[in-house]
Amino acid sequence: MKTLSATAQASPNIAFIKYWGNRDSALRLPANNSISMNLDGLFTRTTVSFQPSLGVDELIINDREVTGKGLERVSGILDLVRQTAGIDLRAEVVSENNFPTGAGIASSAAAFAALALAATKAAGLQWPESAISRLARLGSGSASRSIPSGFVEWKMGTGDEDCYAVSIAPPDHWALADCVAIVATGHKSTGSTEGHALAPTSPLQAARVADAARRLDICRRAILERDFETFAGIIELDSDMMHAVMMTSQPQLFYWKPATLAVMETVRSWRKDGLQVAYTIDAGPNVHVICPQTEMAQVTAFLREVPGVMDILQAGVGGPARLG
Ligand code: DP6
């Protein structure tokens, strides 16, 4: 019998226009489109093998067996693949990250992107990129954006079928870098999935969503025209708007630490002084500082001087999820 096994790797991504809140949380249909860039050099590598000897799915992440909710989420994706491929075998899923978890980089995006690609390939399915992005989305919304290459837009669509991500520009279109200023490690108290569910409790979420198409247009155009000034303004506004929603949710979600704010203020003052640099922050305290790759060494050196910055992780623009 043919071995039903495949390995895939995918990078995490950083969102410039954020995904926050779902119109259907079971299907992860987002309230608005989002735009991101893949992070080069960071990846999750996952092998999926469907095996007759297994009675249940098994999940091993960074050499540790994972059970409970984490395994259920993975089994949900495997079930969809099994249904479509007509396979009745359980799978072993072995996954490794080359970047630290709890470093402010969403590991679920890279993880579910690599899982979706490896599982469909292992099952012998020949799916187009859009279908794999859609499957990754069902595991973690932002994972849909780690399937296509470079700069990516996840379309909210009208339903499950047309809700997936597409590349808007390849990695070599614009040599940007993400310098992640780590100001705290350890796991966050409220994960993104619970956070999305709280978004509608903020009176500001409706305004954030109503204005999303405008911000998306500005961000998309700034990327296509490599217009850093416009890009910087819109990604900071979008990040601030998401955090305003978080801070005004019930219960409140407040992710910033004093050092988060110190980096935000410093980045703004560097930009006033002529440096091309901008910040964006996900559901955690660490600050993603975006700049042209030519400024990366200087930005990193400057960031080391900001009180409270413990470490800095660097990444360029990454390619698509791929096999092997
Ligand atoms: C703040 O994709 O991690 O990083 O769909 O529940 O897995 P789930 O949530 P997730 O949410 C990401 C939220 C964000 C913004 C973004 O990446 O767009």
Q: What is the pLDDT of residues 133-168, one digit of tens each?
A: 999 999 999 999 999 999 999 999 999 999 999 999
User: What is the predicted pLDDT for the residue at 105?
Assistant: 74
- Going from the N-terminus, what domains does the chain have, and what CATH number goes with each? 4-172 (3.30.230.10), 175-315 (3.30.70.890)
User: What is the predicted pLDDT for the residue at 3?
Assistant: 79
Average pLDDT over residues 66-81: 97
- Whether the CB-CB separation of 139 and 108 falls below 8 Å is answered with yes
User: What is the predicted pLDDT for the residue at 104?
Assistant: 63
Average pLDDT over residues 234-259: 97
Round the CA-based radius of gyration of the chain to a whole number and report it.
19
**pLDDT > 70? residue 102:** no
Strand partners, 47: 7, 94
Residue 2 C-alpha to ligand 1 middle, in angstroms?
37
Ligand 1, atom nearest to 13 Cα: 17
Pair of tokens at residue 84: 């479509």
pLDDT grade, residue 99 (50/70/90)? confident
User: What is the predicted pLDDT for the residue at 190?
Assistant: 78
pLDDT grade, residue 67 (50/70/90)? very high
pLDDT grade, residue 103 (50/70/90)? low
pTM of the model: 0.97
The percentage of the chain sitting over the pLDDT mark of 70, rounded to a whole number, equals 98
- Whether the CB-CB separation of 298 and 275 falls below 8 Å is answered with yes
Q: Of 23, 142, 164, 180, which is best to mutate to test ligand 1, by the most ligand atoms within 8 angstroms of its C-beta?
A: 142
pLDDT grade, residue 1 (50/70/90)? low
- Three-state DSSP class for residue 9: strand
The percentage of the chain sitting over the pLDDT mark of 90, rounded to a whole number, equals 94
User: What is the predicted pLDDT for the residue at 25?
Assistant: 96
In the predicted model, what is the mean pLDDT of the chain?
96
Tell me how far apart the alpha carbons of residues 2 and 243 are, in angstroms, rounded to a whole number: 49
For 82-96, what is each residue's pLDDT tens digit? 999 999 999 999 999
Element (H, E) at 300: helix 296-304
> Of 279 and 107, which is predicted with more confidence?
279
- Beta-carbon count within 10 A of 217 CB: 12
Residue 55 C-alpha to ligand 1 middle, in angstroms?
32
- Cα 94 to chain centroid distance, Å, stands at 20
User: What is the predicted pLDDT for the residue at 101?
Assistant: 72
Could you please report the per-residue DSSP string of 16-42?
EE----EEETTTTEESS-EEEEEBTT-
**pLDDT > 90? residue 185:** no
**pLDDT > 60? residue 225:** yes
User: What is the predicted pLDDT for the residue at 30?
Assistant: 98
Closest residue by Cα to residue 286 from 177, 178, 182:
182
Number of H helices, E strands in the chain: 9, 16
**pLDDT > 70? residue 188:** no
Residue 19 C-alpha to ligand 1 middle, in angstroms?
6
- Measured from CB, residues less than 6 Å from any atom of ligand 1 are 15, 18-20, 28, 34, 106, 108, 140-142, 192-193, 196, 282-283
User: What is the predicted pLDDT for the residue at 268?
Assistant: 97
Closest residue by Cα to residue 277 from 240, 238, 229, 316:
229
Tell me how far apart the alpha carbons of residues 207 and 13 are, in angstroms, rounded to a whole number: 25
Lowest mean pLDDT among 82-91, 184-193, 242-251, 266-275: 184-193
Strand partners, 311: 182
Average pLDDT over residues 56-77: 96
Residue 285 C-alpha to ligand 1 middle, in angstroms?
15
Buried b (16+ CB within 10 A) or exposed e, 160-180: eeebbbbbbbebebbebbbbb
Residue 51 C-alpha to ligand 1 middle, in angstroms?
32
**pLDDT > 70? residue 108:** yes
Tell me how far apart the alpha carbons of residues 204 and 39 are, in angstroms, rounded to a whole number: 30
Among protein residues, the one whose CA lies closest to atom 8 of ligand 1 = 140
**pLDDT > 80? residue 97:** yes
In eight-state DSSP terms, residue 308 is: T
Tell me how far apart the alpha carbons of residues 176 and 216 are, in angstroms, rounded to a whole number: 18
